[in-house]
Amino acid sequence: MAHRDEILRFVRAQRLGVVSSVNAGGTPQSAVVGYAVTDAFELVFDTLGDTRKAANLRVRPAASFTVWSGERTVQLDGVADEPGGPELERIQATYFSIWPDGRERTAWPGITWFRLRPTWIRYTDFMAGPLVITL
């Protein structure tokens, strides 16, 4: 069984993940994003404010996120927000440590950062014998 620190290391070792949100009509929508993870297990990603995911998360902040490497996956559900002020600076520091080019994107019109705070996490290793699933 994987423990929190092992799962955090696994999620940090990946660079891309899929964020899923729900639009106004109730239809799910997914997007691949580059992300970073804080010590508090907050996932941070940037996007333009006029993207589908940004519009969806602003109205319906519930979201899912998936990362994987081979036969290992982490799936999580959580609540997204767009921090401002000192909180934004804190999560940007984490993001920029992984994605230094993100600093250049701060000049883009409409760029924003979302933070996803997990409420549920599942780690699965399909290569383990027997199958390892941690909730």
pLDDT in tens, 15-48: 999 999 999 999 999 999 999 999 999 999 999 9
pLDDT at 130 (0 to 100): 58
Q: Cα(131)–Cα(89) distance, rounded to whole angstroms?
A: 40
The tally of domains found in the chain comes to 1
pLDDT tens digits along 55-108: 999 999 999 999 999 999 999 999 999 999 999 999 999 999 999 999 999 999
pLDDT at 53 (0 to 100): 97
Higher-confidence residue: 80 or 134? 80
Contact 52, 29 (CB under 8 A): yes
Residue 111: give the domain boundaries. Answer: 4-134
Residue 110, domain CATH: 2.30.110.10
User: Average pLDDT, stretch 3-21?
Assistant: 95
Query: Residue 2's pLDDT band (boundaries 50, 70, 90)?
Result: low
pLDDT at 80 (0 to 100): 98
Q: Cα(118)–Cα(109) distance, rounded to whole angstroms?
A: 29
Beta strands in the chain (DSSP E): 16-22, 28-34, 36-37, 43-48, 62-69, 72-81, 111-125, 132-134
Higher-confidence residue: 124 or 132? 124
